[in-house]
Amino acid sequence: MFGRHSMVRGCRALMCALILCVAVIKSPGQEKKPWHSGTILEVKTHQAAPGADQVKQYDITVKVGKKIYLTLYTPQGNEPGPENYVGMARTVQIDGDTLRFNDLLGHTRELKIVSSKDAPAASSK
């Protein structure tokens, strides 16, 4: 009798664990944002407001699909500036007002999206 009781308890614990796993996997709001191909169109040194901190920042324009995003990038530490990224295709992720991409060393960088607009339609010649 003792063995059957502990087996039933063990089955209940296993069922609870399975239900919990399914609930975690199916929980809403945990969607992964897709990664897209993007092209860096332009990099300019950001013009800070007079009297503002003189941290080196860059305005980076990125085309993703049919949208063009203007982002603000602040290099960390002694990182080189992103001027050499112009024309490069990068895999990017758009998540609200944040654009993520992996730099040439594989580090994920987050850029604040300042604005976005529709890309001009491609003209056929």
Q: How many domains does the chain have?
A: 2
72 forms beta bridges with 59, 112
Which residues form the domain of 49? 35-118
pLDDT at 13: 62
Residue 123 lies in a domain: no
Residues 55 and 25 in one domain: no
Residues 88 and 110 in one domain: yes
Residues 44 and 77 in one domain: yes
pLDDT at 124: 64
The DSSP H or E segment spanning 93 is strand 89-95
pLDDT at 102: 87
Residue 124 lies in a domain: no
Model confidence, pTM: 0.69
Residues 17 and 61 in one domain: no
Instruction: Report which residue type is found at 120.
Output: P
Residues 98 and 52 in one domain: yes
Residue 47 lies in a domain: yes
pLDDT single digits (tens) 52-87 = 677 889 999 999 999 999 999 988 877 777 888 899
Residues 64 and 84 in one domain: yes
Residue 45, helix vs strand vs coil: strand
pLDDT at 106: 84
Asked whether residue 8 carries a pLDDT value surpassing 80, the answer given is no
pLDDT at 55: 82
Angle ∠(115,92,55) on CA atoms, nearest 5: 55
* 115 contacts 61 by C-beta, under 8 angstroms: no
